[in-house]
Structure 1
Amino acid sequence: MKKTVPTVGLADASDAVALLDLPEEIALAMGGPKGKHDAGRAAVRHGTGKGSVTLGGRRIPVQRPRARTLDGHEVPLTSYEHFAADDVLTEVVMEKMVAGVATRRHARTAEPVGDTVSATQKSASKSAISRRFIKLTKTALAELMARDLSDHDIAVLMVDGEQLAERTVVVALAITADGTKVPVGLRDGSTDNKTVVGALLADLVQRGLNVDDGLLVVIDGAKALAAAVRDVFGEQALVQRCTLHKRRNAADHLPDKDKDWVDAKLVKALHHPDPAQGLRNAQHLATQLDKTYPSAAGSLCEGLDEMFTVARLGIDGLLAKTLTSSNPIESMISIARTTNRNVTRWRDGQMVLRWTAAGMLTAERSFRRVKGYKQMPQLVAALHRHAHPKEKTDTEPAGSAAA
């Protein structure tokens, strides 16, 4: 059972030791209390030694009792080892930083332990917290970038460029066959940079991402990103463009007086029950715009066919809404933005990556399965038909495989 230590009303650091049950633990190790002779004892008391424990979000120096076996080996004390470990303090630091608590405010937000004990505290200064968080985020980045994907049955990969601080990072989020979201990677750079995106996707393959049974890749509107997906994954991957990005991009080329009616027509086309007719309606809208607003028409036409990929796979309802936008990624990145809102100076791209990775892994702890996850088997089956078009089921006529 995990030990808990009261943090209020401690007169001095020795009270903290008493709360850890160390004297009792030593007595048990020796086979009896101090002063009672025991011919069969296996250990003897060995004075005290300097140590420290985590208490109320800081390190407190203590004099810990010691014991040794009869042949001279130190007796490990479970209570002390638990509270002496850095894990507890590390967890506190990470949670506070992710919640947006500035390094200079950590000491003020620590749990109260009394003035006497607080006067001896360590690891609560701004510089100490900063060093610990740098170490934590380096670990988080390494964990994220080395995550083994071979054990994950990944059906969907979402890739998007997100603006963080003064830099852009490319973020990748996988969705498994049962609807579970898994952060899988990030790179410093833009989705408009084919080299950056290609390196990210190739790294995912190296780490075990298998596309042999088909993969749906949801992307923003960047041409370089679509090209990189085709280069790395080939024909096994199907691209779905984010409809929200498309609508925003088209609106950016229009005056305010025309934005609403154009968007209404585009939304109607995107939600048409027949994806082929929806595509034709969207193309007709682009033709309407071409004379008056050629840049809006050009923006609308770019990658338009890939706006209907999910619909052509036969997916509708909640899952279609999930898979036709990059909202799952943007929701995850919002955690990273909360984490870094107090940062006033970004030293380099590595710092941005470290903080972003920490935010992504923190967000993962609160993930739920995607909306519409009950339709995931339908999507997996459709992707399989796309990846293996020559296969036919007993009930499926020839030529009906998903395109």
Structure 2
Amino acid sequence: NPMAKVRSCSINSNRLRWLLEQPLDIKLAMLQQHLEICRLLVNEILEDEVNQLTGPRYSHQKPHKGRYYRWGYNPGSIQIGDEKVRLWVPRVYDKETHSHVPLKSYKRLKALKAAGSRLLKRVLLGLSIRDYRSVVQELVDSFGLSPSSVSRRFIEESAARLAEFMNRDLSAYEFVALFIDGKYLAKEQIIIALGVTITGDKIPLAFIQSHSENTLSIKELLTSLIERGFNYQNGLLCVIDGSKAIRKAICQVFGKFALIQRCRWHKRENVLSYLNEEDQQTYRRKLNQAYQADTYQEAKQMLLNIKRELMNLNVSAANSLEEGLEETLTLHRLGINHLFSKSFATTNCLESLNSHLNKYLGRVKYWKNSPQRHRWIACALLDIEQRMRKVDNYKKLYLMQQAIQKELNLHT
């Protein structure tokens, strides 16, 4: 093992003591910059090897009888997952051979598929701590980390990220829409709130673990958003799947400042679930055509016609369509369906988020407790947030805000 010859190049908890002693805001800022942490560790590794060859900078005590000299820096890089981390690599000159000495640690780092900051991401990509020993063997070999210290490190970092996620200030954002939905993640019901800003950014705002979608727990979630600076008084479009508990909580917390857009996909699937396969094909087409209509009047008339047909075919399907029908047409009523139906007529934004979460959490074999579940979900949401795309037609979201304010008779 070439790294074994470089005694000081292994990373241990002592080398990160200075970081652990910093104030929480500095730790959180560092944790948000995984690659910067990795760059810090790599620079330390390279500097340690140079010190062994040349002695500490400005020291008169030179090892190897003064054979090696510092000789500036060269630009270089290493690969961390899919990211390239650029570095300034120290150069060492051998006065006996009149040549530069390649740093063994840099060569080893160049060959690594993963390094320090990838630790958290590797866990998040669905690997249970129980299966972690084989995954981190290369880190154990390269950096002298033990699986137990890896687990502790992950707990510390993920706990900090949970605090960051649950407490970050929302007052700097101007939100125009809010998606709320509950899904089974990590073997528990998790209700997630996703905000959309006036600039089209999707931001996971909060989540709660709840046995079921009940009004009280969702009210607490929404109230916590307001306490963190969530501004809803310029009007808010709330996209939900049809849950009565979620709807009631929105009305109680946001009152006259919120409009409800029921998810059309859920509505359509609920109606079709009462029909046989042949009728499902027919009415899926008819419902899609109705929701694609240009105007509110046209769309509503088409849905009422479908309801009359269903009354003769299947009363349960007709009743399902009638329930909440008006709220599936909110975008039509606002006159903005043609602009925003792709992003705001369904809860697909949250479905996509949940799909990504499942990739992170689905392979965990054993959930020890609720804090573990919360840490992992928070880490995953913060990581996913960085890659979420803006909503369609985001440059025209000001038109949505104006339409909502006009509908709600808000004067801002």
Instruction: Classify the TM-score, shorter chain.
Output: 0.7 to 0.9
Deviates more, 1:281-290 or 1:295-304: 281-290
Residues 367 and 390 of structure 1: is their aligned pair in 2 closer, same or farther, counting only changes over 3 Å?
closer
Deviation string 1:315-373 (CA, Å, 9 cap, x unpaired) is: 23463210111111121222221111222233344433332222111101112211221
Are 2:226 and 1:205 aligned?
yes
Deviates more, 1:269-278 or 1:382-391: 382-391
State how far apart, in whole Å, the 2-side matches of 1:149 and 1:336 are. Answer: 22
TM-score, structure 1 normalization: 0.73
**Alignment match, 1:92:** 118
Deviation string 1:252-302 (CA, Å, 9 cap, x unpaired) is: 222222111111111111111111221232123123223432222222111
Are 2:2 and 1:9 aligned?
yes
**What SS is found at the alignment partner of 1:163?**
strand
More helix by share: 2
**What SS is found at the alignment partner of 1:10?**
helix
State how far apart, in whole Å, the 2-side matches of 1:33 and 1:204 are. Answer: 59
Please give the residue correspondences for 1:288-327 in structure 2 after superposition, counting only pairs within 5 Å.
Answer: 288-317=309-338, 319-327=340-348
Please give the residue correspondences for 1:361-400 in structure 2 after superposition, counting only pairs within 5 Å.
Answer: 361-389=382-410
Matching residue's letter, 1:195: L
Matching residue's letter, 1:10: M
Are 2:280 and 1:259 aligned?
yes
Residues 112 and 353 of structure 1: is their aligned pair in 2 closer, same or farther, counting only changes over 3 Å?
closer
* Alpha-carbon offset, residue 215 of structure 1: 0.7
Residues 109 and 248 of structure 1: is their aligned pair in 2 closer, same or farther, counting only changes over 3 Å?
same
Residues 336 and 390 of structure 1: is their aligned pair in 2 closer, same or farther, counting only changes over 3 Å?
closer
Is residue 236–residue 386 contact of structure 1 (8 Å, CA) maintained in 2?
no
**Alignment match, 1:243:** 264
**Alignment match, 2:60:** 33
* Alpha-carbon offset, residue 89 of structure 1: 7.1
Deviates more, 1:151-160 or 1:313-322: 313-322
Deviates more, 1:326-335 or 1:301-310: 326-335
State how far apart, in whole Å, the 2-side matches of 1:333 and 1:194 are. Answer: 21
Is residue 240–residue 306 contact of structure 1 (8 Å, CA) maintained in 2?
yes
Q: How many residues align?
A: 329
* Alpha-carbon offset, residue 32 of structure 1: 4.9
Q: C-alpha root-mean-square deviation of aligned residues, in Å?
A: 3.0
Deviates more, 1:181-190 or 1:213-222: 181-190
Residues 101 and 254 of structure 1: is their aligned pair in 2 closer, same or farther, counting only changes over 3 Å?
same
Instruction: Identify unmatched segments of 5+ residues in structure 2.
Output: 11-44, 63-79, 82-113
Residues 295 and 92 of structure 1: is their aligned pair in 2 closer, same or farther, counting only changes over 3 Å?
same
Matching residue's letter, 1:375: K
**What SS is found at the alignment partner of 1:250?**
helix
* Alpha-carbon offset, residue 106 of structure 1: 4.3
Residues 256 and 228 of structure 1: is their aligned pair in 2 closer, same or farther, counting only changes over 3 Å?
same
**What SS is found at the alignment partner of 2:259?**
strand
Is residue 191–residue 197 contact of structure 1 (8 Å, CA) maintained in 2?
no
Residues 354 and 16 of structure 1: is their aligned pair in 2 closer, same or farther, counting only changes over 3 Å?
closer
Is residue 161–residue 171 contact of structure 1 (8 Å, CA) maintained in 2?
yes
Please give the residue correspondences for 1:328-339 in structure 2 after superposition, counting only pairs within 5 Å.
Answer: 328-339=349-360
Deviation string 1:167-197 (CA, Å, 9 cap, x unpaired) is: 2111011010010111100111267311121
Instruction: Identify unmatched segments of 5+ residues in structure 1.
Output: 1-7, 36-55, 58-87, 392-403
**What SS is found at the alignment partner of 1:96?**
helix
Deviation string 1:215-241 (CA, Å, 9 cap, x unpaired) is: 111111111111111111011111111
* Alpha-carbon offset, residue 23 of structure 1: 5.9
